[in-house]
Chain A
């Protein structure tokens, strides 16, 4: 039975994810401040101070320590949470591998922000795209509601015995993090029935002393453990679909699994995007549809595991597709474009145009999308920077 709910709050993306952590009943929070993540951890600190949440909150001296602390608490069996952004996420990088390698279902909020130099606090996804090889699941949110809901779904997915890997949930800097939207704040009882307490089977136990992460020789279990991480990420696709469906049944909000298809039924051309770029994209698709153009949009929600099968199925019969990346892999192309080309290899001959847009928070406007759709309709296949000014 679907519960009918109405908007009952107006809040920024950062407030929404803080409420997500609260509703998930996280036991331990450890964080270090960085713009534009700060209002998440400020809100949580305020909740702790007002006894609205029973979590232990530790303000550490770096992001590396924040992740090391949540790694350790999660290993003891306490549901743990942190949030960061940009350089903070990069500073955590080593601990991201360590937490995933130890198979700990930590959930973290990441506010996507550009990397310096020069300093830039506005949105870009290069920070989290740099972490795609760490073994973390990655979900990119499009609204404040999705940002909140992704924390609840995130713990359920990550803690599934078929997954047992950490998950990072992204929101675009300022566009979501600091912009207020109407949000449905779910009831605690409803969340509790959806998300049971953490029960980690291999937590630190003094009665059964073990070494957690000692070392492995080349003939030891190292390679098998790494393959198991890959298998679990593959299995997580089913878990994501199941949990997303269950979330829809419980809360009445339906997220569509790994990707969201918008006006794709009879589309001939499509653009693939993630985060709030998809919102502008949807607006442009609706506009072009009114002009009679058969266009659609695919929003990548999960980047890890990458929805290669879903995208291949969705675009195989199109005449052309464009992929927008708000990030760069220097010396190559945008990370999403690379994945899409790889997903289509041997399955489809359609032209793929790769766009880099919106770096450092530059606006990606309606006319930019119209231009990208023109490129796609022209069957272009190269890599293109959108809205780059002439050299001054």
Chain B
């Protein structure tokens, strides 16, 4: 039986990520899809720390580190400079967390996408500022407890819905937009491959569960990632030049199965769960409507 995932590794053992880190698997799969002619730029993020302190590195491709807000602009400069040197075939990849993408980096991301550079922007979404100790981000979902949305005498869990950057990117008309997650590596790598065939900016949001910040046992990251898709919390889709395809659920599960597997939702009451279900239904309807419209 042929391998469904490229054998070639661009990530060396010995990185310093936490046990069960979803973001680490995300990088590994992304690079398998990209291949060797790749340069990765990371802002302040878990991935600024995972490769280890100077002089260690864990990737077999160059990594350009930048301040928090700069990913979109850094990949702009890298792309243009490689083009000037005749290296149009290099993959220039921004790899940023959800805080670096949905919050502080949104402006430079949006600028880079609008200008149409031939770049990849991978948002590894662990739904909070994990590297700094689990603080709320714009991409944190409704209901989640974080260190800045604590449940004390007042139940100050995050009351606002998740800002879904992939939806913003579709609204902006980015030529390639997709979501993926580590439980489905073939799907993730296929999306990288598809993205490589699209000229212009590419944006992929990868749900990357975090045992430390979502409060679940570290061996369950892949399982949680799968439950997020099956429960409809994180729908998988691909949108190429405005043509949206939403992945249908073959084995849907109840939302409570996803929520109850994680400590960050353990305080939730029935009404809170209903709010989440309402959101899931609304968003799925939105995506399906968009899919139907884009098919015409």
On whether A65 and B84 interact (CB within 8 A), knowing A212-B64, A212-B65, the answer reads: no
On whether A56 and B76 interact (CB within 8 A), knowing A62-B108, A215-B49, the answer reads: no
- Spell out A's residues near B (CB within 8 Å): 27-28, 30, 56, 58-62, 64-66, 68-78, 80, 94-95, 98, 204-206, 209-217, 220-221
Report chain A residues within 8 Å CB of B51: 211, 214
Least distance between B228 CB and chain A CB atoms (Å): 31
B53-61, B163-171, B250-258, B281-289: which lies at the interface: B53-61
Least distance between B19 CB and chain A CB atoms (Å): 21
Q: Is B78 an interface residue (CB 8 A)?
A: yes
B64 interface neighbour in A56, A75, A78, A221, Cβ under 8 Å: A75
Chain B interface size, as a band, is: 35 or more
Please determine whether A66 and B73 come into contact, CB atoms closer than 8 angstroms. Answer: yes
On whether A56 and B67 interact (CB within 8 A), knowing A68-B73, A71-B74, the answer reads: no
CA distance A94 to B38 in the complex (A): 27
Report chain B residues within 8 Å CB of A75: 64, 77-78, 81
Central interface residue in A60, A62, A95, A205, by most chain B CB within 10 Å:
A60
- Spell out B's residues near A (CB within 8 Å): 36-39, 41, 48-49, 51-54, 56-57, 59-67, 69-70, 72-78, 80-85, 90, 107-108, 110-111, 114-115
A68 interface neighbour in B36, B59, B70, B90, Cβ under 8 Å: B70
Please determine whether B111 and A61 come into contact, CB atoms closer than 8 angstroms. Answer: yes
Please determine whether B85 and A76 come into contact, CB atoms closer than 8 angstroms. Answer: yes
CA distance A95 to B74 in the complex (A): 11
Report chain B residues within 8 Å CB of A62: 107-108, 111
A56 interface neighbour in B52, B62, B84, B108, Cβ under 8 Å: B84
Please determine whether A206 and B62 come into contact, CB atoms closer than 8 angstroms. Answer: yes
Could you jot down 19 A-B contacts, CB within 8 Å? A28-B80, A30-B73, A56-B84, A58-B77, A65-B76, A68-B69, A69-B76, A71-B66, A71-B70, A73-B78, A73-B84, A74-B77, A76-B78, A206-B61, A206-B62, A206-B90, A211-B51, A212-B65, A215-B49
Q: Which residue of A lies closest to B61 (CB)?
A: A209
CA distance A74 to B80 in the complex (A): 11
CA distance A217 to B16 in the complex (A): 14
CA distance A193 to B61 in the complex (A): 36
Report chain A residues within 8 Å CB of B64: 72, 75, 204, 212-213
Please determine whether B85 and A64 come into contact, CB atoms closer than 8 angstroms. Answer: no
On whether A68 and B77 interact (CB within 8 A), knowing A61-B108, A62-B107, A214-B54, the answer reads: yes
CA distance A216 to B48 in the complex (A): 11
CA distance A61 to B106 in the complex (A): 11
Least distance between A214 CB and chain B CB atoms (Å): 6
**Given A28-B84, A209-B63, A210-B57, 16 other A-B contacts at CB below 8 A?**
A60-B73, A65-B76, A68-B69, A72-B75, A72-B78, A76-B85, A78-B80, A80-B81, A95-B67, A206-B36, A206-B38, A206-B62, A210-B63, A213-B66, A214-B53, A220-B53
Please determine whether A27 and B76 come into contact, CB atoms closer than 8 angstroms. Answer: no
Please determine whether A215 and B80 come into contact, CB atoms closer than 8 angstroms. Answer: no
CA distance A69 to B84 in the complex (A): 14
Please determine whether B111 and A211 come into contact, CB atoms closer than 8 angstroms. Answer: no
Please determine whether B59 and A73 come into contact, CB atoms closer than 8 angstroms. Answer: no
On whether A209 and B84 interact (CB within 8 A), knowing A65-B111, A214-B65, the answer reads: no
Please determine whether B83 and A210 come into contact, CB atoms closer than 8 angstroms. Answer: no
Report chain B residues within 8 Å CB of A73: 77-78, 80-81, 84
Report chain A residues within 8 Å CB of B69: 64, 68, 94
Please determine whether B54 and A215 come into contact, CB atoms closer than 8 angstroms. Answer: yes
Please determine whether A56 and B57 come into contact, CB atoms closer than 8 angstroms. Answer: no
Please determine whether B54 and A70 come into contact, CB atoms closer than 8 angstroms. Answer: no
CA distance A72 to B39 in the complex (A): 11
Report chain B residues within 8 Å CB of A221: 54
Report chain B residues within 8 Å CB of A95: 67, 70
A206 interface neighbour in B39, B65, B66, B114, Cβ under 8 Å: B39
CA distance A58 to B116 in the complex (A): 11
A64 interface neighbour in B37, B59, B82, B108, Cβ under 8 Å: B108
CA distance A111 to B63 in the complex (A): 34
Please determine whether B62 and A65 come into contact, CB atoms closer than 8 angstroms. Answer: no
CA distance A98 to B37 in the complex (A): 26
CA distance A58 to B63 in the complex (A): 23
Please determine whether B61 and A65 come into contact, CB atoms closer than 8 angstroms. Answer: no
On whether A68 and B78 interact (CB within 8 A), knowing A206-B39, A209-B59, A211-B54, the answer reads: no
Report chain A residues within 8 Å CB of B65: 211-215
Please determine whether B67 and A65 come into contact, CB atoms closer than 8 angstroms. Answer: no
Please determine whether A69 and B54 come into contact, CB atoms closer than 8 angstroms. Answer: no
Please determine whether B81 and A212 come into contact, CB atoms closer than 8 angstroms. Answer: no
Central interface residue in B36, B38, B54, B78, by most chain A CB within 10 Å:
B54
Please determine whether A72 and B53 come into contact, CB atoms closer than 8 angstroms. Answer: no
CA distance A60 to B77 in the complex (A): 10
CA distance A65 to B113 in the complex (A): 13
Please determine whether A220 and B54 come into contact, CB atoms closer than 8 angstroms. Answer: yes
CA distance A27 to B86 in the complex (A): 13
CA distance A71 to B66 in the complex (A): 9
Please determine whether A211 and B72 come into contact, CB atoms closer than 8 angstroms. Answer: no
Q: Which residue of A lies closest to B68 (CB)?
A: A94
Central interface residue in A65, A95, A221, by most chain B CB within 10 Å:
A65
B115 interface neighbour in A58, A205, A212, Cβ under 8 Å: A58
CA distance A220 to B38 in the complex (A): 28
CA distance A70 to B41 in the complex (A): 14
